[in-house]
């Protein structure tokens, strides 16, 4: 619910480029758990993370509440790099 609210807020004020949530709704509960701190599970989570960064960015559609691919084929990895650069540039100007 929080994801939809925050995404809606940023999109409604025409600032969606200032909000990035990296999430994969296709993971099962067993795959998504972070409560199991074994080496095997942590390595599996790192593999999931690396694969997720290669996926195209998707955002919540305001009318449906469902995730959709964003315009273009920008990956989460590329978007994170751009996001970090914009934050760094903004800090330099303050």
When divided into structural domains, the chain yields a total of 1
What gap in Å lies between CA 85 and CA 92, rounded to an integer? 11
Classify 69 as helix, strand or coil: strand
Residue 77 confidence (pLDDT):
95
User: Per-residue confidence at 14, pLDDT binned at 50, 70, 90?
Assistant: low
49: containing domain? 2-92
Under 8 Å CB-to-CB from 80, ≥6 apart: which residues?
Answer: 20, 22, 53
What digits encode the pLDDT tens for the residues 61-93? 767 777 777 777 899 999 999 989 988 998 898
Token pair of 50, please? Answer: 């690396």
CA 66 vs CA 15, 32, 33, 39, 45: distances in Å:
19, 19, 22, 34, 24
**53 pLDDT above the threshold of 90:** yes
């Amino acid at each position: 619910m929080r994801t939809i609210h925050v995404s809606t807020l940023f999109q409604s004020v025409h600032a969606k480029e200032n909000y990035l949530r990296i999430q994969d709704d296709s993971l099962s509960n067993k795959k998504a758990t972070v409560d199991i701190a074994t080496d095997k599970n942590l390595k599996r989570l790192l593999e999931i993370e690396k694969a997720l960064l290669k996926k195209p960015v998707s955002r919540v559609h305001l009318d449906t509440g469902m995730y959709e691919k964003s315009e273009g084929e920008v990956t989460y990895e590329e978007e994170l790099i751009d996001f970090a650069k914009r934050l760094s540039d903004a800090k330099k100007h303050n």
